[in-house]
Amino acid sequence: MASQNSTASNPGMSLNDDDDLRVAAETVHTKPLWEQMAKLNPPFPNPTCIPHIWRYNDIRPILVRAGDLISEKKAERRVLMLTNPARDAPYTTDTIYAGLQLVMPNETAPAHRHVAFAMRFIIEGQGGFTAVHGKRINMQRGDVILTPTWNWHDHGKDGSGPMIWLDGLDLPNFRHFPVHFVEHYADPRYPAENVDTSNSPIVFPWDKMQKKLDEGVKVNGWRSEDYLKADGRPVSKILGGCAEILEEGSSSPGLRETASSVYHVVEGSGYTVIDGERIEWQRGDTFCIPTWKKYQHTAAGDAGSVYLYRFHDKPMLSALGFYRVEGQDIEGLVSD
């Protein structure tokens, strides 16, 4: 009879080196942690996505041409997704999706609802509307309109010319939590009544936001104002938003944080330095800041005030205890 230590009863004893071990480990669906330790425990937050700018002048003609070639009925939503060069859709950053959506006159982007949350920044056009769970909201340039989870929503447009806006959704999360699904409404439109957009909890009119930015106290010419619900909470548990002003020639404070962001240039021109790389921008452009990339915006010295719209994943990271800014007292992050 073979002893306890023989290779017959203890096949591990027949393994002679690393390679043998790796191959044998895989036959029983295991892998050595020690080969991946550094990758799983990086010394700093480690985005896959890279900084990138999507220039409106490059994208707009293609999007508008899609208005001729792709019917709204076929598309359901006529969108060019802003895909990060380092990843495929739905990643604009590793946690945020952004896309530019077009609706042409007399079209209907049909009613549906889904788990994902959307916040939309209106870039251009007149006569566009979105109906969110029975409330029809006219779109005006600069407004931010929310589509909360599971609300029925459809979009449409009267008048002439294109309506274009920037969508922000929390889609990347659903790669981790495969709990996203959609329901289509039986009719193209969900019944809706017009609402006063100056007094709706899901609309943030630009004129109000601009007034706050213009009149508020600035730090070296820069100020940021959050989009918050009436009770002070962020617009969703996952995504938050803000708008920023930079007076001519001024700069924002340099920041390195775990939140990632998508920025859109509402007005003016300037540049952002992201981990030493300078990206020039102008009105209509959209760019992303991956996690832990140091960034600082500067308004051009000869083109008036700059206004930026930003959405980010700070609410989600804060709720999970993952939000962190370079320079803060990190002992305060020790959890009990």
Q: Which residues are registered as beta bridge partners of 132?
A: 135, 153
CA separation (Å) from 92 to 22, 96, 148, 171? 36, 6, 20, 10
**Cβ–Cβ < 8 Å for 181, 115:** yes
In sign, the C-alpha dihedral spanning 299, 305, 306, 307 is: positive
* Total chain residues near ligand 1HN (CB under 6 A): 11
Using the minimum distance from each CB to ligand 1HN, give the nearer residue, 156 or 284.
Answer: 156
Nearest to 95 by CA among 80, 79, 116, 112: 116
Give the Cα separation of 38 and 46 in Å (integer): 12
Q: Which is nearer to ligand 1HN, 76 or 275 (CB)?
A: 76
Mask of contacts with ligand 1HN, 62-101, x by CB under 6 A?
A: ---------------x-x-------------------x-x
Q: Please say which residue, 132 or 213, places its beta carbon nearer to ligand 1HN.
A: 132
Q: Are 142 and 210 in contact (CB under 8 A)?
A: yes
Cβ neighbours of residue 78 closer than 8 Å, sequence gap 6 or more: 63, 66, 67, 70, 72, 101, 102, 103, 109
- Of 7-15, 165-173, 234-242, 277-285, which part binds ligand 1HN (CB under 6 A)? 165-173
Residue 153 touches ligand 1HN, criterion: CB under 6 A = yes
State how far the Cα of 223 lies from the Cα of 217, in Å rounded to an integer. 7
The least CB distance from residue 194 to ligand 1HN, in Å, is 19
Q: Is 143 exposed, middle or buried (0-12, 13-18, 19+ CB in 10 A)?
A: buried
Phi, psi angles (nearest 5°) of residue 77 = -135, 125
Shortest reach from residue 217's CB to ligand 1HN, in Å:
36
Q: Which residue in the set 143, 167, 267, 313 belongs to the binding site for ligand 1HN (CB under 6 A)? A: 167
Compute the least distance from the CB of residue 156 to ligand 1HN, in Å. 11
Residue 77 Cβ vs ligand 1HN, minimum distance, rounded to whole Å: 4
- The answer to whether 264 touches 120, Cβ cutoff 8 Å, is no
Give the residue with the Cβ less far from ligand 1HN, 166 or 213.
166
Of the two residues 153 and 310, which places its CB atom closer to ligand 1HN in the complex?
A: 153
Nearer to ligand 1HN, 167 or 225 (CB): 167
Q: Between residues 22 and 77, which has the closer beta carbon with respect to ligand 1HN?
A: 77
**Closer residue to ligand 1HN (CB): 154 or 285:** 154
Report which residue's Cβ sits closest to ligand 1HN.
Answer: 77
Distances in Å between the Cα of 29 and the Cα atoms of 7, 14, 20 are 21, 19, 14
Fill in the per-residue mask, 99 to 118: x = in contact with ligand 1HN (CB under 6 A), - = not in contact.
x-x------------x-x-x
Within residues 170-189, the interface with ligand 1HN by CB under 6 A covers 171
| Closest distance to ligand 1HN from the beta carbon of 239 (Å) | 13
Binding mask 21-60 for ligand 1HN (x = CB under 6 A): ----------------------------------------
Task: Give the footprint of ligand 1HN on this chain (CB under 6 A).
Answer: 77, 79, 99, 101, 114, 116, 118, 153, 167, 169, 171
